Amino acid sequence: MENLPKLAIVGYGAMGRAIETLAKEQAFVISNIFDIDSKLNSAENYDFDVAIEFTAPDQVIENIKSIAKLHKNIVVGTTGWLDKLDEVRKIVSEAGIGLVYSTNFSIGMQMFFRIVRNAAALMNKTDGYDIMLNEMHHHRKKDSPSGSAKTLANIILEEVDTKTTILDDTARSQIGKEMLHLTSTRGGEIFGKHSIYIDSLADTIELKHNAKNRYGFATGALQAAKWIFAKKGIYDFSDYLELMWK
């Protein structure tokens, strides 16, 4: 029988509840749930092995610090904090724990990242095409652009020689050919929709990933929890997927 880590859920919003439901279906033991009314205390002695953290950008670093003090491993699903990645690397190293993070734990989105990379690379061998992207999320999402959109934009910059900068605001005038236009829309109950457009005078190619629900994110987060269990160091979720897809 598979040796599953005992879990703590940090952040009991819609994502936390989805993880709880799926974790129970997969026979995980959830030792603790932390939220506004039940806060994580680094001075306590908890029984979990891996914490799955889905909160908010202004909370995630303090949560990582607290969990690191407990010498527990972490899955971080919160986005909007990667500008503090060096700080988190130091926290993880000093605590001797394991941490895996991603801008999107959906396996389908991870496949989409690779599809976009391959498509973008073709533009260097083909004249007359431009590329742009749009992302849409529900009105409650706090970060904009989304972490996944930023990942997609960086993939395009890495692959398309003519694109060197990102414009993630409304274009109020003509933009330069070196600019990658990234637009965001907030409203309704959209789980997450990311669209890539490769356009020319002759035709348009559209690549889209449409998240139907939170199941994909929860599935990936639980796979990450199993993988990071008993590991040390900091990893991107793609590190695990590279091994799985070899």
Query: Which are the catalytic amino acids?
Result: 137, 141
User: How far from chain centre, in Å, is Cα 107?
Assistant: 11
Backbone angles phi, psi at 89, to 5 degrees: -55, -45
Question: Which residues, in sequence order, are CB contacts of 4 under 8 Å at separation 6+?
Answer: 26, 27, 28, 29, 226, 229
Question: Which residues, in sequence order, are CB contacts of 222 under 8 Å at separation 6+?
Answer: 19, 22, 23, 26, 28, 52
- Using DSSP bridges, classify how beta strands 30-34 and 7-10 pair: parallel, antiparallel or unpaired: parallel
- Of 94, 93, 47, 56, nearest to 76 by C-alpha is 56
Taking the CA atoms of 104, 108, 110 and 113 in sequence, report the sign of the dihedral they define: negative
